[in-house]
């Protein structure tokens, strides 16, 4: 049986592939009506470390714009 983290990540991976707006809206509506926000999410040590590293990157200005990230992704996908 999959762990909670594995299951959550699998769901996220599948959601990222959906482009149908109506389908996503239906899923969102379902989640909005659930009691998910009452649950406390416990982060792993690795997740906490990643968040701390992200905060440090922001403080030190090691960020790029979404537009630049999109351009870099397209360039990478083209193999350049």
Question: Residue 78: pLDDT band by 50, 70, 90 thresholds?
Answer: very high
The mean pLDDT value of the chain amounts to 89
pTM for this entry: 0.43
According to the model, what pLDDT value does residue 35 have?
Answer: 67
Domain definitions of the chain by residue range: 1-36, 43-80
Report the SS3 class of residue 1.
Answer: coil
* Residue from 66, 41, 36 nearest 51 by CA: 41
According to the model, what pLDDT value does residue 13 have?
Answer: 93
User: Residue 4 pLDDT > 90, yes or no?
Assistant: no
pLDDT tens for residues 35-52?
655 667 789 999 999 999
The DSSP code for 30 is: H
């Amino acid at each position: 049986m999959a762990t909670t983290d594995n299951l959550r990540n699998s769901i996220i991976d599948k959601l990222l592939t959906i482009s149908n707006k109506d389908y996503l809206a239906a899923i969102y509506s379902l989640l909005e009506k659930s009691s998910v926000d009452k649950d406390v999410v416990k982060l792993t040590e690795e997740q906490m470390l990643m968040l701390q590293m992200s905060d440090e990157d922001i403080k030190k200005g090691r960020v790029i714009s979404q537009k630049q990230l999109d351009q870099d992704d397209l360039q990478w996908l083209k193999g350049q």
